[in-house]
Structure 1
């Protein structure tokens, strides 16, 4: 993969590990994370003027195995959890 754009972030020491990144559009992305307490979270970020800003955080009951986008509505996503939910 070739990097298209690099966004610097002032605080590079995140207290969580992000995975399952999913871009909704060129400025908004979603990811799931596991924090220091092994809690699962679903997070939305917005890139605004070259800065990554956290828009929302939602707790999850278990890890996300997949993120699926609605075929016609790109702002609608479906989460598949590892518990089968």
Structure 2
């Protein structure tokens, strides 16, 4: 039996986000740029959680200002970026 992917919630630090769009390009199933030009998670990643994908993990890592945080949807603990 293989382990299922971890369910995650994405938080965006709106004061830090510069709207580079790298996250939305890297993980379009999880993140978009809102009308104000700031990143925002799509519904499952904002609320109840959705599967952590390699693309989403990379998008968090590549954010030039570290405005994205991944949290466990089940435990609430921080997954990325590491502190």
**How would you bin the TM-score normalised by the shorter chain?**
under 0.3
Which has the higher relative contact order, 1 or 2, with Cα contacts under 8 A spaced 6 or more apart?
A: 2
State the TM-score, normalized to the length of structure 2. 0.25
Task: From the two aligned structures, give the one with the greater helix fraction.
Answer: 2
